A and B are shown apart, each in its own frame.
Chain A
Amino acid sequence: MGDILAFAEQKDGQVRAVAREVISAAATRAAEMGGSAHALILGGTGVGGAAGSLGDYGAATVRAAEDEALAEYSPTAYSGVIAEAVRAGGYQAVLFPATAQGKDLAPRVAALLDAPMASDVTRLEVDAGELVAVRPVYAGKALALIRFESTPSVLSLRPNSFGVHEIAAAGTVEVFSPTVSADDAMRTVEFQAAGGASVDVSEASVIVSGGRGLKGAEHWNLLEDLRDALGPGTALGASRAVVDAGWRPHSEQVGQTGKTVAPGLYFAVGISGAIQHLAGMRTSQTIVAVNKDADAPIFGVADYGIVGDAFDVLPRLSEAIAALRAEG
């Protein structure tokens, strides 16, 4: 009773960092409901060995479905195995990360289980023994508080919204061979890495975003310098205007028709702050705005603002931050 299953996403056999966040979120809520949290990882032979450490984040058991057909993500095979595990375990809920894979997978699992689903949840509470999910709607212009009328429920959690918590649990690894329904109607033929981007804007801990104030794609080196000064974990972002102008790819767009982000530190440079952009970044922990126009709406959400020209401010800022990091 009150048990929660957490899907542990892996890539190339390694547990992804986001899995720890999902499992610790599952563990705290399961404890409040008098149950325990269990992790489920799918992959090729040996994937269970990589997953034992999830016990440090609250997984009582780590169920590892090993089959060569699961080494690479396959929506049909994965959703079938997960739905079967949820049925067999009698879980109250199953949690996914709201990553590209989680967003693709969780709705299929919900359809197989005939279960209600809440996507991109940013807060999860237990009230009277039931889960209450809070999720942004209208790209974060409002929040919806949701209850489920049947169990199990399926939820995807927005990365970086819950934090990773160390919770000691047994983490007993149970390897099993699932029945896998092969999918011959689709296959992934290749992965094309985006040029230069080491971390995706949706997963970055620091984001440096540029807007029309940069005046052209050729000036993005100024933002790249700031990104490099800030170090690994920093990604470039962009406003809708510069994506629509073709200066930057859509994968970098922050806002209602791009990505909704919540990094620890967000720089908005030359971005006026259209309502659809603010919707996508206003839950960032610390926001810095640099804009020539002192009345720009971006200053309304910024913790710190500099009124000034991006071309003057950026080089000095990159230099100062690089110097600070060199000091340690």
Chain B
Amino acid sequence: MNIVVCVKRVPDTETRIRLAEGDSDIDPGGVKYVMSPYDEFALEAALRVKDDQGEGEVTLLTLGSDNAKETLRAGLAVGADAAVLLRGTVTMDGLATAKTLAAELEARDAALILFGVKAADDDQQQVGPMVATLMGRPCVTNVASFEVGDGVVTCQREVEGGAEVVELCLPAVISITKGAFQPRYASLKGIMAAKKKPLEQKDVQVPDSQLTVERLEYPPARVEGRIVGEGADAVPELVRLLREEANAL
């Protein structure tokens, strides 16, 4: 079974975000970029299906600029078989991204298309279900684990207060959250092999963004707090403050 995993290059989650001059974007200086963590779970999920079935190809797909090749190489080193870079502008308009990816995916024979549930930069959770809708394929989002049966995938979808078990027919689209798919590390052999794996690049025309990011700003600073005291002896004063000052109890 062939699987396409759609991935995005994002700032590492431990990175401190600083705004660039003009507040229209973040300052990339000193930022370490990585594959979005949820996309790593999706890649791991794809590799496990391939391991189980002993056949099929896992292809990485991304929309971005040249530096996204680094992210694709990292995924190839972990075990993906091939990668495709669609060179084009990424904006916060998820639908523009989804249309671009869907056009490429229509031309590919993938029984399963996997996404991370969200990219750890824009945090929108849009592109997976949008691609599925544009392609007319069934889609389950926020999946912590799944199993592939005969033409059917059974998914554990995380919702408030529990999990839904959802069955869907292939071909299908699934977005993956943190759960069963703890990513494997790249081996030295994998890193060497990745250099020889196919990485296709093509320029694409992304539809104009229908969203304008007017500016970015920092979240409001919190009012400076205070240390109430040390150890269990501070508990009565804390409870008093929570009740009388913060009105929180």
Q: Which residues of A contact B (CB under 8 A)?
A: 75-76, 79, 99-101, 103-104, 106-108, 110-112, 114-120, 132, 136-150, 183-194, 197-200, 202-203, 243, 250-251, 253, 256-258, 260, 264-265, 274-276, 279, 282-283, 285-288, 294, 299, 301-309, 312-313, 315-317, 320-321, 324-325
In the bound complex, how far is the Cα of B235 from the Cα of A243, in angstroms? 28
B92 sits at the interface (CB 8 A): yes
Q: Is the CB of A320 within 8 A of B129?
A: no
User: Can you add 15 more A-B contacts, CB < 8 Å, to A76-B138, A138-B120?
Assistant: A111-B133, A111-B134, A114-B95, A139-B120, A147-B214, A186-B139, A191-B162, A194-B161, A265-B248, A275-B13, A304-B238, A306-B234, A316-B235, A321-B249, A324-B243
Bound: A202/B227 CA distance, A: 27
**A137 with B121: CB separation less than 8 A:** yes
Q: Is B219 touching A138 in the complex (CB atoms < 8 A)? A: no
Report Cα–Cα, A120/B248, bound state, in Å. Answer: 25
Residues of B within 8 A of A (CB): 11, 13-17, 19, 26, 37-38, 92-95, 98, 120-130, 132-134, 137-142, 144, 154, 156-169, 172, 177-179, 208-219, 222-223, 225-232, 234-236, 238-239, 241-243, 246, 248-249
- Tell me the complex Cα distance, A272–B26, Å: 26
Q: Closest B-chain residue to A105, C-beta based?
A: B129
Give the residue name and chain of the A residue nearest to B142 (CB): A100
Taking the closest CB of chain B, its distance from the CB of A155, in whole angstroms, is: 11
* CB nearest to B216 among chain A residues: A142
> Are B230 and A308 interface neighbours, CB within 8 A?
yes
19 chain-A/chain-B pairs, Cβ below 8 angstroms: A103-B125, A115-B95, A120-B125, A138-B17, A146-B214, A149-B210, A186-B140, A188-B164, A188-B166, A191-B159, A256-B120, A276-B13, A303-B226, A305-B226, A305-B227, A306-B227, A306-B234, A321-B249, A324-B243
B123:A120 contact, CB within 8 angstroms? yes
A100 touches B13 (CB 8 A): no
Within 8 Å CB of B128, what residues of A?
107
Known: A111-B133, A144-B92, A148-B210. A104 touches B142 (CB 8 A): yes
Q: Do the beta carbons of B126 and A282 come within 8 Å of each other?
A: no
- Residue ID in chain B nearest A16 by CB atoms: B160
Pairwise interchain contact B166-A186, C-beta atoms closer than 8 A: yes
**Given B94, B165, B241, which contacts A304 in the complex, CB threshold below 8 Å?**
B241
Q: B222 — which chain A residues lie within 8 A by C-beta?
A: 282, 287, 301, 303
Residues of chain A with a CB closer than 8 A to B211's CB:
116-118, 146-149
B238 CB to nearest chain A CB (Å):
6
Which residues of A have CB within 8 Å of B249? 265, 321, 324-325
A317 with B166: CB separation less than 8 A: no
The answer to whether residues A137 and B161 also contact, given A187-B167, A308-B231, A313-B232 and a CB cut-off of 8 A, is no
Are the CB atoms of B19 and A142 closer together than 8 Å? yes
Contact A257 B212 (CB under 8 A): no
A320 & B163 in contact (Cβ 8 Å cutoff): no
Task: Determine the chain B residues whose CB is within 8 A of the CB of A313 once the complex forms.
Answer: 231-232, 234-235
**How many Å lie between the Cα of A264 and that of B248 in the bound state?**
7
Q: Which residues of B contact A305 (CB under 8 A)?
A: 225-228
Min CB gap B95→A, angstroms: 6
Nearest residue, chain B, Cβ from A202: B160
Contact partner of A190 (CB less than 8 A), chosen from B14, B95, B164, B218, is B164
User: Which residues from B are CB-within-8-Å of A117?
Assistant: 94-95, 124, 126, 211
Whether the pair A257, B37 counts as a contact (CB closer than 8 A) is yes
Contact B227 A285 (CB under 8 A): no
Could you tell me if B130 and A107 are in contact, using CB atoms closer than 8 angstroms? yes
Task: Give Cα distance in the complex from A193 to B159, angstroms.
Answer: 9
The complex places the Cα of A184 from the Cα of B225 at a distance, in Å, of: 55
Q: Are B210 and A303 in contact (CB under 8 A)?
A: no
What A residues does B141 contact at CB under 8 A? 103-104
A116 x B210 contact (CB < 8 A)? yes
Asked if residues A143 and B216 are in contact (CB atoms below 8 Å), the reply is yes
Closest to A309 in B: B231
Report if A186-B124 is in contact (Cβ < 8 Å); known contacts: A107-B133, A294-B227. no
Instruction: Judge whether B210 and A140 touch: CB under 8 Å.
Output: no
Question: CA of A198 to CA of B93 in the docked complex: distance in angstroms?
Answer: 36
Report the separation of the CA atoms of residues A235 and B239 in the bound assembly, to the nearest whole angstrom: 19
| B223 engages A100 (CB within 8 Å) | no
**Smallest CB gap from B234: residue in A:** A306
A144 to B38, CA, bound (A): 22
Q: Is the CB of A308 within 8 A of B216?
A: no
Complexed CA–CA distance, A90 and B37 (Å):
39
